[in-house]
Amino acid sequence: MVDVRAAPGAVAEQDPRVERSRRVILEAVLDELGEVGYGALTIEAVAARAGVGKSTIYRHWPGKLELVEDAFRTLKAPVVVPDQGSLRDRVVAVIEQVACLVAESTYSSCMPALIDAAERDPKVRDFHSRFSAERRAVLVGILRDAVQTGELPATADPELLADALVGPILLRRLMLAQPVGPQIARALVDQLLPVRGDERPSG
């Protein structure tokens, strides 16, 4: 047993075998979630897919819920904001990233399972809404700044506008089973972003 008290604040030195086990197991969980969803996920299937013994899983997690929570926590969906360019260009860049993420990524394939799990368990719901809000905040921030600088009219509601820019992507992915590509970003911005005279879309 590693003495955890030895180095307060620092991450305790870990046996590399533990880290390796964690990694392959959590990867297997995400794969499994994408394939069978949350309700049908079993520990045995995860163990088989990860190529580890069941006991290794039960050594590190008390049960399915905690395992899935941990797996979701490893999901990353970073959105980078270009620090220069017009308002329009920056928004397009962000929406393009979101579209690509929703179109194809580990996150994308887990999205239905995540939505389903969030509906059943408060802890997953909490994680999921925070996770989504992170990405939303980036876009809201850009739009809010634009209102302050006058690039957008004062009547613009940054949050509603952000949701209107991203919502259609989710709608098409989750409800209409339509493919979404990055090209939707420009279409959305052209259609929804209020323009101020000289800022009209170039083509």
Partner DNA sequence: TCGCTTCGAGACGCTTACGTTTCAAAGAGA
Partner DNA sequence: TCTCTTTGAAACGTAAGCGTCTCGAAGCGA
For DNA, which stretch binds (CB under 7 A), given 57-65, 86-94, 185-193, 195-203?
A: 57-65
Q: Cβ neighbours of residue 44 under 8 Å, at least 6 residues apart?
A: 54
Q: Cβ neighbours of residue 144 under 8 Å, at least 6 residues apart?
A: 158
Contact (CB, 8 A) for 17 and 2:
no
Q: Which is nearer to DNA, 2 or 133 (CB)?
A: 2
12 binds DNA (CB under 7 A): no
Q: Is 51 exposed, middle or buried (0-12, 13-18, 19+ CB in 10 A)?
A: exposed
Contact (CB, 8 A) for 190 and 201:
yes
Q: Which does 123 bind (CB under 5 to 8 A by kind): its own copies, DNA, none?
A: none
Residues 56-115 that bind its own copies (CB under 8 A): 112-113, 115
Contact (CB, 8 A) for 80 and 144:
no
Residues 36-55 that bind its own copies (CB under 8 A): 36-41
Tally the residues of the chain.
203
Contact residues for its own copies, defined by CB under 8 A: 36-41, 112-113, 115-116, 118-120, 125, 128-129, 132-133, 136, 155-157, 160-161, 163-172, 174-178, 187-188, 191-192
Contact residues for DNA, defined by CB under 7 A: 1-2, 13, 15-18, 20-21, 42-45, 51-56, 58-60, 63-64
